[in-house]
Amino acid sequence: MGRLQYWTKALPILADAFGGDSTYSNVSPATRSTVDGFVGIYGVHLYCSMRLQKQTLSANVWIDAEDKEKNKQIFDAMYRRKEQVEAAIPHPVKWNRRDDKRSSTINVELENVVFSDTNLWDEQFKFLADTCVALKNELIDPCADEIREICSK
């Protein structure tokens, strides 16, 4: 199983989940372990990650507006929606403010993933699609104006 083959099959499903012409519609498959979607907000990235060795698949929000203080303000704005986000996602959400680092992350991970069995891919793609859509709809979009305000200062 190659990453290119995996992302080639996953990306159309991700694009369709967002309604076609949006977050993942202009993303090309690659051999990397991650694919990044476009959310239209500076400093906020929605990406999918596969870790073959750890056997994990995750949907993630990465916050890095290139300024540690702004990043933590963005994280805090998003964290205020913790209850709504966790109610919309049926998997544990990891909130990583990472005060010792410039960036912050929010991760939803599926463990014990068998990437070599292509019969299981549809279920994995559904996890990525459903989770990314929920992160965008319940977390990123509701915080968009506040994030833009933070970044404009």
CB 136 within 8 A of CB 24: no
Q: What is the pLDDT of residue 80?
A: 97
**pLDDT per position as a tens digit, 70-81:** 999 999 999 999
| pTM, to two decimals | 0.93
Q: What is the pLDDT of residue 134?
A: 96
CB 13 within 8 A of CB 125: yes
Residue 41's closest CA among 60, 65, 66? 65
Neighbours of 119 (CB within 10 A): 7
Q: For residue 91, give Cα distances in angstroms to 2, 57, 58, 101.
A: 26, 12, 11, 25
The low-confidence residues of the chain, meaning pLDDT below 50, are none
